[in-house]
Structure 1
Amino acid sequence: MGNGTPCTLKQNHPRSTSVLYVCHPEAKHEILSVAEVTTCEYEVVVLTPLLCDHPKYRFKTSPVNAIFCQALSGSPLQPQRLTQLDKEREEQLKPPFSSSVSETREVRQDEAPPVREEAFSSTHKPMTVGGQAQVTVGTTHISRLTDEQLIKDFLSGSYCLHGGVGWWKYEFCYGKHVHQYHEDKEQGKNIVVVGSWNVEEHIDWAKKNVARSYQLKEDGVQKVKLVSHFYGHGDVCDLTSKPRQVVVKLKCKESESPHAVTVYMLEPQTCQYVLGVESPVICKVLDTADEHGLLSVSS
């Protein structure tokens, strides 16, 4: 794609962009990244499921060979040891019966019958709930707890997001900084500070700009769709002799992959950037945004 805005750094030569389409079965035609590979020449990577229909671009799947087992004459339906473990588990999970309700309530946790942990799979562990006998509790809450911990780490700035393709990569640490960097085997890591966080400066910026945007759902409920945060005091720009600054836009993005994150950076004006971060994880905290767009972990 050519005939872009004339580039002052290349004798007013028109800007140009190469658009790369990549097969991704779960994508919804979203932009993965926008990078300036050379001066005023850009590269846009777009994820789309449409390419996956073509045999040259679809994901290659490894063949799965079925295994058929045939029992010998007189063999049990399952291993004898497994049958024994199933019987032990049934005995352990039976509720305690007593002559009175009060005696049942007085069963102490340390008096519960011992449980053979090897009788359970790795996704189920025995637990004692209150005064009841030990029961098997599945790990259905592990992913939820993991998401909560991930959100806490993200909002504390200890978990940073990375993105970008081509020469420059991006690092975003919430409430800390936005970095643009390039790693070289010989010269090491070259870091450019695009913006640093200062809550007072952001609040001043939010009073003059839209820091929180809403979306009206089909059921009539108004939900926060996007929040914008201002990061200033970046490295001084050679072209403007002013510090770089960036507006970070955190957007809720529904996806079949709950931990998918899309990070891209735009430069609408010289050394003034827009960093887009889109993920289903962000959907969980956007409704906690206050009037300045600041997020918090919901209790």
Structure 2
Amino acid sequence: DDIIYDIKWQSELNSPIELKNNFIITSKRKEKYSCILPILQTTDTKSTETILLSDIEPLIEKLHSKKVMYLSNPYWTYELCHGIHIRQYHENKIADKRVIHQEYFLGYYHSNNQDIITNTDNEQVLKIHHKTVNNRIIPMLPIRYTDGTACDINSNKPREVLVFYVCYENGNNGVINFQEVSSCQYEMTVASAWICELPEFNSL
């Protein structure tokens, strides 16, 4: 239970495989490894599209009233407490009791750390982010969780998560995707039916 990663070695190939986005790393013992960079979904953070904060605040309050949601993989569990925090942990079952062995708080919600700007009419607005998924541009409501546990591989900077709420009519505000986009910087996607109430986020 203490093994975080398991490497399965590929049997020897008869001919090389051409891979995109790969580069070669040489170890101290002159061993060569081919590393492949994932092709990330495109996120447009420079969009000029916005929504009035007064229009979105009731929805944010509704989202934050939701209970805790979880996303689990074979080792880590991700806990989203809407409007409070995001936690990553690993637990083992010992003598019929669950014991947490590793735990990181990835970020806390602060209303003053959001993508809020003032428009030309002197109104507070929230920037709408867009992500290209399967050649479709999907509008998303971004909510930041900041000031998480210090990251020792990133100059002890605090961890941070950008949570994207997307319109899905059958969504129950659960986590459908989580990824680490750079060292201790994360993105989480949450499917919500409530956000479909706003035409700005309904891509259909």
Query: What TM-score bracket applies, with the shorter chain setting the length?
Result: 0.5 to 0.7
Residue aligning to 2:72: 164
Residue aligning to 2:183: 270
Alpha-carbon separation, structure 2, partners of 1:164 and 1:7: 32
The one-letter amino acid of 2:108's match is: S
The one-letter amino acid of 2:144's match is: F
Deviations 1:142-197 (A, max 9, x none): xxxxxxxxx977423x6122113221121112211111122211471232101111
Does 1:243 find its partner at 2:158?
yes
CA drift at 1:288: 9.9
Distance 1:243 1:182, change over 3 A: same
CA drift at 1:276: 0.7
Does 1:197 find its partner at 2:113?
no
SS at match of 1:226: strand
Counterpart selection for 1:155 from 43, 47, 64? 64
Residue aligning to 2:12: none
Distance 1:183 1:13, change over 3 A: farther
Alpha-carbon separation, structure 2, partners of 1:183 and 1:4: 35
Residue aligning to 1:252: 167
Question: What is the RMSD of the two structures over their aligned residues, measured on CA atoms?
Answer: 4.0
Distance 1:242 1:262, change over 3 A: closer
Deviations 1:10-44 (A, max 9, x none): 98652588xxxxxxxxxxxxxxxxxxxxxxxxxxx
Alpha-carbon separation, structure 2, partners of 1:277 and 1:212: 15
Alpha-carbon separation, structure 1, partners of 2:37 and 2:129: 32
Alpha-carbon separation, structure 2, partners of 1:237 and 1:243: 6
Distance 1:271 1:282, change over 3 A: same
TM-score when scaled to structure 1? 0.38
Alpha-carbon separation, structure 2, partners of 1:277 and 1:164: 14
Residue aligning to 2:128: 212
CA drift at 1:279: 3.2
The one-letter amino acid of 2:183's match is: T
Residue aligning to 2:99: 188
Residue aligning to 1:175: 83
Contact 1:164–1:263, Cα closer than 8 Å, also in 2: no
Alpha-carbon separation, structure 2, partners of 1:184 and 1:152: 34
Residue aligning to 1:14: 35
Distance 1:181 1:211, change over 3 A: farther
Alpha-carbon separation, structure 1, partners of 2:34 and 2:91: 29
Structure 2 unaligned segments of length 5 or more: list them: 1-18, 39-59, 119-125, 131-137
Alpha-carbon separation, structure 1, partners of 2:80 and 2:162: 12
Identity of aligned residues (%): 25
Structure 1 unaligned segments of length 5 or more: list them: 18-150, 215-223, 290-299
The one-letter amino acid of 1:160's match is: V
More helix as a share of residues: 1
**With CA pairs under 8 Å and 6+ residues apart, which has the higher RCO, 1 or 2?**
2
Number of aligned residues: 140
Contact 2:175–2:188, Cα closer than 8 Å, also in 1: no
Alpha-carbon separation, structure 2, partners of 1:185 and 1:5: 39
SS at match of 1:234: coil
Alpha-carbon separation, structure 1, partners of 2:107 and 2:86: 5
More strand as a share of residues: 2
The one-letter amino acid of 1:179's match is: R
